[in-house]
Amino acid sequence: MGSMWLLYLFLAICLSFLSASAKEVIEVTSDTYRTHVSYNSGYILFYAPWCGHCKKVKPLWDELANDPDVEYEVSQVDCTADENSKIVFNNKIKGYPTIKFHHDGNLYTYPYKRRIGPLKTFAENILSGNPEVEAEKIMGGTLGFSEFLDGLQKVSPFFAISSVTLGAGLGILAVLAFYCCCVSSEAEFEEMLEKRKEEILEMRREREEKESKGLEKKRPKQG
């Protein structure tokens, strides 16, 4: 039994290393938007799948996400999805694609040509405290649990582990807790069952005694 737990833990650690090495564009929804832009720094692309200009930006966005010099996150939100309508409305998105950079609880609309060089320069200026445009308030979306965990990792080094490792750890703890509860419940159930058996046997003895006494009273006297 113990060897199985070690195997699961080993697999979880391996998955965490694999996820840490892979970089991809993050798909943001209304459930994750607010926490994502509040606790992280990076670009977010507001796009429509049918938009020709958005399709041209797709390779650029993938290149930016996998750039070894880029340490911030690269994400996108589908503005045609019904669930994301509140994000589109609150951010006053009037054209596609719209690019914004989020940092320290603020949003900055990118106004230049959609090229790697200008994108990286724009981000570096914001991160260094010298934004080229005015900051905007973060509007729309709701707090998501997974994104909340990512936010905790930004706030405290105690949570600075991969989300896969954290999820695996929580899963293992949940299984262990469930197992302990089952063992405890099983022991209590066995004890309760034994008591119940004793009660049934006692009730049966009392009933047999009453029946035997009743038979003696009904038995005719021999004279």
3-state secondary structure of 26: strand
The answer, yes or no, to whether residue 39 has pLDDT greater than 70, is yes
What is the distance between the alpha carbons of residues 138 and 38, in angstroms, rounded to a whole number?
Answer: 8
pLDDT of 145 strictly over 70? no
Give me the pLDDT at residue 59, please.
95
Residue 152 reports pLDDT greater than 70: no
Residue 123's pLDDT is 96
Which residues lie across from 99 on neighbouring strands? 45
- Reported in sequence order, the residue ranges of 127-216 that DSSP labels E, i.e. its strands, are none
Q: How many Cβ atoms are within 10 Å of 103's Cβ, its own excluded?
A: 18
Residue-wise pLDDT for 156-175, tens only, equals: 555 455 555 555 555 665 54
Q: What is the pTM of this model?
A: 0.56
pLDDT at 131 over 60: yes
CA atoms of 183 and 180, how far apart (whole Å): 5
Could you read off the pLDDT of 45-59 as tens digits, one per residue?
999 999 999 999 999
CA distances from 70 to 66, 119, 121 (A): 8, 11, 11
User: Given CA atoms 84, 171, 164, 101 in this order, what sign does their dihedral have?
Assistant: positive
pLDDT at residue number 200:
77
Phi-psi region of 222 (alpha: psi -120 to 50; beta: other; left: phi over 0): beta
